[in-house]
């Protein structure tokens, strides 16, 4: 273990050094596709409560980088949301939906 | 190659007799209609489908539901669902024209069901029957 003086004179400039290693959780929970995980084969447009998980507060469809949905099911989710909107089961535009 | 295509086409035609395409139609009726008018309208489209050679599989009445946004200045509507099967899309083409002409219908949506959708529809029906 290097002394404080030695650490302060570290070779790399601007590098922050700590006396004790910080205990921060850096690994995030892995996202997963809930359709693949729970074996759902068909995304039903008649169930707006379920589709609520895939839209944001304004009623926009969330990207799959946020929800973790696989490409195959993201396409189906998008179609289902659009069908639900057409039938006024879900809003096209909204505010403070959640 | 030509002969193979012919054989495949004949096989396809042969099997077509055993399966029909499944469709699902949801339509929203004007909320100002009386109960009798609603029954009459639903009956009309049911008869229409049957007369065009479609087979009715299921009917659902979701009742008066609030709309997520106003349609024709109305905030609610009567939702009805038909599940039907037909050999081709002729019945649906006519149905959608009729829906468009009818002022009592505020919205309609017809989708074809794939095999996963059909199995889901069956499970959903079983669940609804259990509840009722």
Question: In B, which residues are within 8 Å of A86 by CB distance?
Answer: 107, 109
The list of chain B residues with pLDDT below 50 reads none
pLDDT at B12: 72
pLDDT over 70 (residue A13): no
A chain contacts of residue B67, beta-carbon cutoff 8 Å: 88
Residue of B nearest to A76 (CA): B117
pLDDT given at position B108 = 94
**Half-sphere CA count of A70, side-chain side, radius 13 A:** 13
Indicate the pTM of the whole model. 0.78
DSSP codes of every residue in B39-67: HHHHHHHHHHHHHTT-EEEEEEEEEEEEE
- Alpha-carbon torsion A88, B83, B124, A42, what sign? negative
Distance from the Cα of residue B47 to its chain's centroid? 12
Q: What is the separation of C-alpha B20 from the centre of its chain, rounded to a whole number of angstroms?
A: 14
| Min Cα separation B7/chain A (Å) | 33
| pLDDT tops 80 at residue A97 | no
The C-alpha of B68 sits at a distance from chain A's nearest C-alpha, in angstroms, of 5
What confidence score (pLDDT) does residue A14 get?
63
Q: Which of A46, A88, A93 comes nearest B71 by C-beta?
A: A88
- pLDDT above 90: percentage of residues in chain B: 64
pLDDT tens track for A54-88: 999 999 999 999 999 999 999 999 999 999 999 99
Question: Above 0.90 for ipTM, yes or no?
Answer: no
Residue in B111, B116, B119 nearest the CB of A83:
B111
């Amino acid at each position: 273990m290097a002394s404080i003086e030695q650490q302060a004179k570290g070779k790399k400039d601007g590098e922050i050094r700590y006396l004790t290693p910080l205990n921060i959780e850096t690994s995030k929970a892995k996202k997963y596709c809930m359709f693949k995980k729970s074996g759902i084969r068909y995304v039903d447009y008649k169930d707006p409560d379920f589709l609520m998980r895939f839209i944001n507060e304004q009623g926009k469809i969330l990207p799959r980088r946020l929800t973790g949905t696989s490409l195959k099911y993201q396409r189906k989710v998008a179609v289902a949301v659009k069908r639900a909107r057409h039938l006024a089961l879900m809003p096209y535009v909204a505010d403070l939906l959640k | 190659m030509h002969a193979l295509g012919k054989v495949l086409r004949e096989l396809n035609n042969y099997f077509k007799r055993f399966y029909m395409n499944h469709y699902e139609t949801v339509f929203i009726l004007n909320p100002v209609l009386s109960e009798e008018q609603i029954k009459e309208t639903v009956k009309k489209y049911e008869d229409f489908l049957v007369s065009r050679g479609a087979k009715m599989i299921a009917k659902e009445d979701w009742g008066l539901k609030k709309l997520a946004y106003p349609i024709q200045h109305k905030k609610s509507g009567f939702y009805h669902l038909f599940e039907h099967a037909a050999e081709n899309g002729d019945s649906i083409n006519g149905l959608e024209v009729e829906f468009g002409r009818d002022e009592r219908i505020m919205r309609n949506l017809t989708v074809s069901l794939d095999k996963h959708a059909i199995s889901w529809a069956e499970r959903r029906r079983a669940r609804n029957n259990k509840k009722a």
